[in-house]
Amino acid sequence: MFETVFLCPFSVATGRDKPEACHFPFEYENVTYTGCIRNDLGALWCSLDAVYVGNWKECGEEECIYPFNYDNHDWDTCVGADHNGDGGWCSLDPVYVGNSAQCGKHCGGVLSHDSGHFNTPDYPTPYDNNLDCFWTVQAHGGVITISFQDFSLQPGEPIFGTCENDYMEIFSGTNSLGRWCGTSHPGEGVFHDDVTIHLVSDSSITSTGFKIKYKVEGSNHHEFGPGHEDYCGDALHGHDGEIMSPGFPIAYENNVDCAWTLSGKSHGTVLEFHDFALEKPSLYQGCSYDYVEIFKGNERVGRFCGDTAPPTETYFEVVTIRFKTDADTVDRGFRFSWHDPDVAGSGEGSGVLP
């Protein structure tokens, strides 16, 4: 006599006639989930439909796990998502140990974790027209390995063999390594600098997009909590808060590369720098040594160095504040705060996720 154990919620058809891909987000028992969940037996599963109707699959090792524990807090949804639930990240382990993935409807972002994966918006559902997205995997002094799990974009021009419509372009640092389209991709690559994946789509044909896995080895990046002298980079939330560069006001270190992200809010967020002192710009190349870079969504607002701080601005999109230093010459660093337009920037809010 055999005992049948169903790993998913009910003994129903597994929907093998449907694409074997989780549908995120999905609704189950009137609750919306953006990643895999556990049943009563502890097995991970997900729905293949927007609303669970009996079609499910077991989750693989690269799926979000909910709930997961991060910084002594249990999370049931994406960390750092904006007010629409987009633009966050999740853990691939029950307790976060550095393995992460994007969740929500992502179109670009700065990836500072040691490993994870990212994909085109709505993957494996076809991506939208008129996209212009940048994903940057930060090396933090380590070595990045990029591998493609899936790749399908609009084919290139058959006559000229070029990718002029939808394409993915890869950059190592600031150097373009080429464009790819159709089902042709570069395979696995190893990089010693930051890697940027640029996706562009036109106004016509789309496809299922891509899923990319990355791993950073030998990184000098450490994820310390708020208040630690080496605290560098995180997802920020709350009505107001304050962040200082590592070592402020004495001096930051060389070879720093980190990013803070503020979620987008419908009423806006005011970002203000109160102190700013970085290495002076190059005479011919501007801010190419130590700098702060501000991104509004996928658009770069500007790069700042020396004693020229970013201007005080109200942002309605996701804002990324990136801090990067080279191998010599340091300075005092910076201090910035954020607050809602109708909240005085006291700098005393909890501020940092979670």
Q: With a cut of 60, say whether residue 345 has pLDDT above it.
A: no
Q: How confident is the model at residue 219 (pLDDT cuts 50, 70, 90)?
A: confident
Q: With a cut of 70, say whether residue 318 has pLDDT above it.
A: yes
Residue 351 class from Cβ within 10 Å (0-12 exposed, 13-18 middle, 19+ buried)?
A: buried
Instruction: Express each pLDDT in 264-302 by its tens digit.
Output: 777 788 999 999 999 999 888 889 899 999 988 777 889
**Is 354 among the domain residues?**
no
Mean pLDDT of the region 203-227: 75
Same domain, 3 and 70: yes
User: In this predicted structure, what is the pLDDT of residue 221?
Assistant: 57
Same domain, 18 and 91: yes
Contacts of 165 (CB under 8 A, 6+ apart): 154, 156, 157, 181, 201, 202, 204, 205
User: In this predicted structure, what is the pLDDT of residue 31?
Assistant: 81
Same domain, 139 and 71: no
**Is 251 among the domain residues?**
yes
Comparison of pLDDT for 228 and 29, the residue scoring more? 29
Q: How confident is the model at residue 122 (pLDDT cuts 50, 70, 90)?
A: confident
Same domain, 99 and 141: no
Same domain, 177 and 130: yes
Phi, psi of 328, rounded to the nearest 5 degrees: -150, 165
Count of CB atoms within 10 A of residue 233's CB? 25
Q: Final residue of a domain: which of 105, 137, 170?
A: 105
Same domain, 11 and 101: yes
**Is 166 among the domain residues?**
yes
**Is 11 among the domain residues?**
yes
Residue type at position 44: L
Read off the tokens for 135: 């994903």
* Residue 310's CATH number: 2.60.120.290
- Contact by Cβ (8 Å): 18, 28: no
- Contact by Cβ (8 Å): 187, 177: no
- Lowest mean pLDDT of 10-14, 101-105, 138-142, 308-312, name the range: 10-14
Residue 285, SS3 per DSSP: coil
* Residue 21's CATH number: 2.10.10.10
- Write out the residue range of the structural domain in which residue 10 sits: 1-105
Number of domains comprising the chain: 3
Same domain, 44 and 133: no
